[in-house]
Structure 1
Amino acid sequence: MDILSVGKRIGLTFMEMNDLRIRDLFDLVKSYAGGREDEPRNANQSDIEAFYGR
């Protein structure tokens, strides 16, 4: 029931939700809500070298 209510909150009809897989619906909701773009990422070697000026 929670999945259906989330789909309705973002404006989908029951027929549209019926055409989606659960994973697709979660991806759509994440996209609609802004995703996880602002989460920090792990630094890689080029980030470390840029930080230390090498």
Structure 2
Amino acid sequence: MTPIAIVFLVLAIVLVWGGLIASVLFLRSRPELEQYPAGGDDDHREDDAPIIRDT
């Protein structure tokens, strides 16, 4: 492998694993919302409409 390929490989590994570690640490600090904002209830309006297909 050429040196530039090794550099890009290391950069890609750091980017992917770094993002995974950052996500895990963020979720550990804030696992779930304690309370949802007002108006966040599902009123099922889309359940009454007919199914629209592209094909």
Q: What TM-score comes out, normalization by structure 2 length?
A: 0.23
Q: Which has the higher helix share?
A: 1
Q: Which has the larger radius of gyration?
A: 2
Q: What TM-score comes out, normalization by structure 1 length?
A: 0.23
Which structure has more relative contact order (CA 8 Å, sep 6+)? It is 1
